[in-house]
Structure 1
Amino acid sequence: MNAWVVWLIIALLLGVVEILTLDLTFLMLAGGAVAASIVSAISGGNLVLEVLAFVAVAILLLFAIRPRLLRKLHQAPGAGALSNADRLPGQPCMVLEPVTTQTGLVRLDGDVWTARSASGAQYPVDQQVYVQRVDGATVVVTDVPLKPAGPTVQA
């Protein structure tokens, strides 16, 4: 059997181990084995060159490529993007049950949210209030609309 075929089989086995571990280490080693296979096919089976190619490419992949890939994989989806809760401050809502500093219910965009007063004021049923901030699953409301963030352009 040709040496390049052996290196490809090793790369395949390392790929299978990578699928089982999902750690990207064995994928980098498989890349080294593919490089060794290419060197073997070109050099006609020089074992020293094959091993050097395997080690060099595997180390390069492990220390240069793998950390970047891991950062990308572990990055939160949509990192830097605003969440739905980030768009709520300033939104108007209608009081369904009296809102105090401790408890209350409001209707916000068709959904019912628990609410509490930001200023200590009490808001009666059917009063329009505005979301000041979101605190977990509770909106903190005020009767004063929030000013838009940033400069406004006047026409």
Structure 2
Amino acid sequence: MNDIDAWVWWLVGAAALGIPLVVTAMPEFGMLAVGAVAAAVVAGFGFDLVVQVIAFLVVSVALIAVVRPIATRHSRQRPQLATGIDALKGKQAVVLERVDGSGGRIKLAGEIWSARSLDTGRAYDVGAEVDVVDIEGATAIVM
């Protein structure tokens, strides 16, 4: 196997590692593919197989050891900007029609919502301010 064959084989290996990266969405395959590209570069400069394998291992392990924990930490963080119904939880609303355990209407974020009381024995009269605890479908749960 001559030098040109070696770097081509490393690039074929990188492409082969890219396929499961796309199919499984596991970033580790991408990191291994980058290691294979590094080995292809080393092979292109004419280094022998041992140096190529060492370059592949060093780059791959370094990426997995450094990038993977950072990516895992970021994937577990909640978005700082709440949108949709998550943005409505914890907001205050004004009662438009009496709200009790069976229903009612509130004005929440400029829109009229159906609502019901979290505590089924509690009722809120027109004009009262309530806190939105949860959203179930199109109904706000208030207290």
TM above 0.5, one fold? yes
The structure 1 residue matched to 2:23, chosen from 14, 20, 27, is: 20
Give 1 or 2: higher helix fraction: 2
CA distance in 2, matches of 1:113, 1:70: 39
Offset of 1:33 from its aligned partner? 0.4
Instruction: Name 2:74's counterpart in structure 1.
Output: 72
Cα distance in structure 2, aligned partners of 1:29 and 1:8: 12
Bigger proportion of residues as strand: 2
Q: CA deviation at 1:6?
A: 1.3
**Structure 1 residue 8: Cα displacement:** 1.0
TM-score by length of 2: 0.75
Identity across the alignment (%): 29
For 2:116, give the aligned amino acid.
Answer: A
User: For residues 36 and 122 of structure 1, do their structure 2 counterparts lie closer, same or farther at Cα, with a shift above 3 Å needed?
Assistant: closer
1:1-155 equivalences in 2 (<5 Å): 2=4, 3-42=6-45, 44-76=46-78, 79-82=79-82, 83-86=86-89, 88-89=91-92, 91-95=93-97, 98-100=98-100, 102-108=101-107, 109-116=110-117, 120-121=122-123, 123=125, 127-137=126-136, 138-141=140-143
What are the Cα deviations for residues 73-106 of structure 1, in whole angstroms up to 9, with x where unaligned?
4544xx23343214622x32311xx433x22211
Q: Can you give the 5+ residue segments of structure 1 that lack an aligned partner in the other structure?
A: 142-155
The TM-score, its normalising length taken from structure 1, stands at: 0.70
Change (3 A) 1:52 1:84: same
Partner of 2:133: helix, strand, or coil? strand
CA 107–47 in structure 1, closer or farther in 2 if over 3 Å, else same:
same
Distance 1:121 1:105 in 2: 10
Q: How far off is 1:120 after superposition?
A: 3.4
> Which moves more between the two structures, 112-121 or 52-61?
112-121
Who wins on radius of gyration, i.e. which is larger?
A: 1
Change (3 A) 1:71 1:117: closer
Aligned residue number for residue 145 of structure 1: none
Verify the 8 A CA contact 2:95 2:124 in the aligned structure 1.
no
Query: Which whole-Å CA distance do the structure 2 matches of 1:54 and 1:122 have between them?
Result: 67
Which consecutive residues of structure 2, in runs of 5 or more, have no partner in the other structure? none
CA distance in 1, matches of 2:89, 2:124: 25
SS of equivalent to 1:80 = coil
Q: Which amino acid aligns with 1:20?
A: V
Residue-pair matches, total? 131
